[in-house]
Amino acid sequence: MAKKADLLKEAKKLKLKVTEKNTIAEIEAAIKGVETTSKNTGIAPEEVVETVTQDAKEDKPAAKAGKRSDKAQKQTEEKIEKEARKEAGDTTPQSEESESNTKRGPKPVTRSLIERRGKSFRSKAEKVEVGKSYSLAEALALAVETNPAKFDASVEVHVRLGVDPRQADQNIRATVSLPHGTGKKIRVAVFAPESEHAAAKKAGADIVGDEEFLKQLDTAKLDFDTLITSPQYMPRLGKYARLLGPKGLMPNPKAGTVTTNVTKAVTEAKAGRVEYRVDKQAIIHLSIGKVSFGADKLVDNAKVFFDSLNAHRPASLKGSYVRTTNISTTMGPGIKVENVVN
């Protein structure tokens, strides 16, 4: 064993890849081979070992797959070359294909929003002066004139308020009866005691019921636009809150749909009573009629709405109540309106 230990020390000096698992004869043969090659070539034994090792690496065949395959070695070399060019700041294309991709045409021209609209809209929008605030009567007359739709479009009022909807006393929600209605046919459903069914039907209710109405809700059939109920029947609608709430059909005392006078509520709903409320962005959106109403009737409806809105100004509000007001038809351009409330 002492002899083998000495041979391993000598092989280590020559940087030969031999271990204790090799036999003494194998170690002696490796050392003798290096010494013989050194004598014949006149090269130092250490250099002979490095040359043989390098030649063995170059002659070694590549694996079919894995890290030692030709593909993997090529990808590694390309990655090293790419990192070197990146550090040097060289961004020139390295192939004909990439060079052709760099040849681009002229920079595309970005069109304005008005240029992306149709011809009919653009011809109508030219009548609205940009940046000008119109009076309420002028704005409504212009809205009727600039309606690009072929159908009887709705005329909408959009009011941005200075309230904070997260505050309970500033979460504006109310109803208003428009003198000329909205131009839409409102389907009214009544959920009340049997003693009030006949009067509600006479007032114009489309659906009147008690137990049968609940069976209709069980099937998620909602063929009505407004639901009116009496206070004592309100708890029975509790389990349908998830069905009615998201669609805005859940009765509410603030909206006038929970009342002891069901007949009066039905009459008002059919006559044109609408509910408005502020959204999360502190904006109220409300349809006040149709284009076919004409400017005069639309002005009457708008004034009644703004009077109602002014009456519900929160007492805790500091600063301006109404910030901006815009009027537009369903598909028409927006028209800026002077501050009506303030």
pLDDT per residue over 260-288, tens digit each? 888 888 888 887 788 888 999 999 999 99
Listed range (22-31, 299-308, 314-323) with the worst mean pLDDT: 22-31
Q: What's the confidence (pLDDT) of residue 34?
A: 66
Q: What's the confidence (pLDDT) of residue 69?
A: 78
d(CA 299, CA 157): 11
The pLDDT of residue 54 is above 50: no
At 179-217, the pLDDT tens digits run 888 888 888 888 888 888 888 888 888 888 888 888 888
Topology adopted by domain 187-271: Rossmann fold (3.40.50)
Q: Which one is predicted more confidently, 229 or 51?
A: 229
pLDDT bin (cut points 50, 70, 90) of residue 58 is very low
Q: What is the mean pLDDT of the chain?
A: 81
DSSP alpha helix (H) spans, the chain: 2-13, 24-41, 45-59, 70-88, 96-102, 119-125, 136-145, 197-203, 211-218, 241-244, 262-271, 295-311
Summarize the confidence of residues 21-40 as an average pLDDT: 70
Looking at the domain that runs over 115-186+274-342, which CATH code has it been given?
3.30.190.20
pTM of the model: 0.59
Q: What's the confidence (pLDDT) of residue 221?
A: 80
pLDDT bin (cut points 50, 70, 90) of residue 55 is very low
pLDDT bin (cut points 50, 70, 90) of residue 342 is low
The domain spans of the chain are: 2-63, 115-186+274-342, 187-271
The pLDDT of residue 133 is above 80: yes
- Residue with the two structure tokens 């041979």: 7
Q: Which one is predicted more confidently, 92 or 158?
A: 158
Summarize the confidence of residues 223-247 as an average pLDDT: 86
The pLDDT of residue 125 is above 70: yes
| Residues 6+ away with beta carbon under 8 Å from 237 | 191, 229, 244, 250, 251
The pLDDT of residue 159 is above 90: yes
Summarize the confidence of residues 286-311 as an average pLDDT: 91
Interstrand relation of 154-161 and 283-290 (parallel, antiparallel or unpaired): antiparallel
The pLDDT of residue 111 is above 50: yes
The pLDDT of residue 220 is above 50: yes
Nearest to 274 by CA among 176, 151, 191, 200: 176
Residue type, 103: K
Nearest to 263 by CA among 212, 208, 324, 216: 208
The pLDDT of residue 70 is above 70: yes
